[in-house]
């Protein structure tokens, strides 16, 4: 498995968060799908506590060790929901083990923390991919299943994200919303090659890779310093592909409680037709 690191610090500051932190996860089928192939996870890895949606969590001693994840399954019939379910389960379990194994909480330096956070995420995504592939190989009807994975692991004042596919992570600070992950899609690949806008082409939004689709994934890692007062959002494309970034930012600003923000984001996506499953995790630092 290959990895690539991106540094994302759109809001330089020394006001790193300590406590308290609130987080919520919600998932909805949407208006036009018959089943929900999205899954989400909130986990407090030092204690081994895992939460699935609907969940609302308050942490009084800071965000370090908090995990948030969104997986958007694909593969037809029941394959998508099986893939995303297996992935979030494997990611949560592996990160709990990796936090202790890598001694992340007692790393000797900030650089060591970053390296260990990234290593833990890559190992977790790798474990999820192997779990999905094993299930697919055991049942031919699931042979095409896979899932996106956007996973955020918080350190002390830093957020490291692992990315496969086109679910997204954002950070809101004040009025500014910044996407800190990069979509792994045909459209994004073409945009990187030719910055000038091109006409939309059929297949632009096809993902370039998925957890479970190949033993040779390229996991993109992004390191982002975070501050007290920041809001972190992870979501499936049932939100980001339907509600524009300005409106997402306005909804996050309007709802201080993460559970209320999740509900409002999902309601807005559904009001705009709800063409896909909608899943979001909101963390307010």
Residues 6+ apart with CB under 8 A from 248: 170, 177, 233, 239, 240, 265
What domains sit in the chain, N to C, each tagged with a CATH number? 2-284 (3.60.40.10)
CB 124 within 8 A of CB 152: no
**In the chain, at which residue ranges do the beta strands (DSSP E only) sit?**
2-7, 21-28, 38-44, 49-51, 55-59, 66-74, 146-147, 149-154, 158-164, 168-173, 176-179, 218-225, 231-235, 278-284
CB 219 within 8 A of CB 5: no
- According to DSSP, the residues that pair with 227 across neighbouring strands are none
pLDDT tens across the length of the chain (285 residues): 556 656 666 655 555 556 689 999 999 999 999 999 999 999 999 888 888 888 899 998 889 999 999 999 998 667 999 999 999 999 999 999 999 888 887 888 888 889 999 999 999 999 999 999 999 999 989 999 999 999 999 998 999 999 999 999 999 999 999 999 999 777 776 776 766 655 555 455 688 999 998 888 999 999 999 999 999 999 999 999 999 999 999 999 999 999 999 999 999 999 999 999 999 999 999
């Amino acid at each position: 498995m290959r990895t690539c690191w991106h540094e994302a610090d759109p809001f330089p500051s020394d006001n790193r968060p300590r406590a308290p932190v609130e987080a919520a996860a919600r998932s909805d089928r949407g208006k036009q799908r018959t089943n929900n192939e999205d899954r989400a996870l909130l986990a407090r890895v030092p204690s081994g506590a895992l939460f699935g949606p609907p969940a609302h969590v308050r942490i009084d001693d800071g965000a370090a060790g908090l995990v948030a994840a969104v997986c958007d399954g694909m593969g037809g019939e029941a394959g998508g929901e099986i893939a995303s379910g297996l992935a979030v389960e494997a990611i949560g379990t592996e990160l709990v083990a990796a936090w202790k194994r890598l001694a992340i909480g007692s790393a000797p330096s900030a650089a060591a923390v970053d390296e260990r956070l990234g290593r833990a995420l890559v190992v977790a995504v790798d474990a999820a991919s192997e779990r999905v592939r094993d299930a697919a190989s055991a049942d031919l009807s699931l042979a095409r299943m896979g899932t996106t994975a956007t996973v955020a692991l918080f350190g002390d004042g830093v957020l490291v994200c692992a990315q496969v596919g086109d679910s997204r992570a954002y950070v809101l600070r004040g009025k500014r919303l910044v996407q800190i992950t990069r979509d792994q899609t045909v459209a994004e690949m073409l945009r990187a090659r030719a910055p000038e806008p091109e006409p939309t082409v059929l297949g632009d939004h096809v993902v370039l890779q998925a957890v479970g689709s190949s033993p040779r994934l390229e996991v993109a890692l992004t390191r982002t310093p975070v501050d007290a007062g920041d809001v972190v959002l992870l979501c499936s494309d049932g939100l980001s592909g339907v509600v524009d970034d300005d409106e997402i930012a306005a909804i996050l600003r309007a709802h201080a409680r993460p559970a209320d923000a999740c509900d409002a984001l999902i309601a807005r996506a559904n009001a705009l037709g709800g063409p896909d499953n909608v899943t979001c995790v909101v963390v307010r630092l």
